[in-house]
Amino acid sequence: MRIYGLTGGIASGKSEAARRFEERGIPVLDADGIGHEAIAPGGAATEEVVAAFGPDILTDGQVDRAKLGAFVFSDPEARARLNAIVHPAVQGEVARRCGRLAEAGERAAIVEAALLAEGGRLEPFLSGLILVIASREIRLKRLCEKRLLSREEAIRRLDCQTPPESKLALARWVLDNNGSVEDLVGQVDSVAGEILSDGA
């Protein structure tokens, strides 16, 4: 089974692209969602995260992602510490789910994750990278309007991430999401056709 990466900066539209890939019949594994499961009650990383960051990140005995996010998005060292705890759990679960998809006879799957192709290297298990891009100003607008963040908080979140443009050289496909959803869907359909073809 071939595995492709789907990445892009926050509010670039990669989740919208992922939905369309699934509609085209390609399974998508949401690494961010798996990460949320890892710190949910009983999750693989929950106890270690609480031990690392203390009870202030809890609400009613559970990890409050809003509190944790506010803490790590303002502190690069804290963010690195969180990633070091959560990423191994996410990677293990992604590998298990890919294995189940392969056993089920799937020919291709997509892993959606913001932190793919970091540091100028493509993960060796990927057959290709799909990069969703949108201008910084459009992404800021989406964060403020759809996620109700202040402009200052939106800027802080954008600045926490590796600039998506730095991954252009590693991408096999680039989806430009500066336009309408319909424009994005058309681009996804084209890539999906290539992935589903024998030559992809």
Enumerate residues 6+ apart whose C-beta is below 8 A from 28: 6, 18, 21, 22, 109, 110, 111, 112
pLDDT of residue 198: 57
Instruction: Compute the residue count for the chain.
Output: 200
Please say if the pLDDT value at position 111 is more than 60: yes
Enumerate residues 6+ apart whose C-beta is below 8 A from 126: 3, 4, 5, 111, 116
Q: What are 117-159's pLDDT values in tens digits?
A: 988 899 999 999 999 999 999 999 999 988 888 898 899 888 8
Please give the model's pTM, rounded to 2 decimal places. Answer: 0.88
Could you tell me what percent of the chain has a pLDDT over 70?
A: 98
Q: What share of the chain is helix, strand, coil (3-state, %, to 5)?
A: 55, 15, 30
Q: Which is it for the CA torsion 118, 119, 125, 129, positive or negative?
A: positive
Q: What are 15-67's pLDDT values in tens digits?
A: 999 999 999 999 999 999 999 999 999 999 999 999 999 999 999 999 999 89
Q: Which is it for the CA torsion 84, 163, 138, 20, positive or negative?
A: negative
| Domains observed in the chain | 1-27+107-200 (3.40.50.300), 31-105 (3.40.50.300)
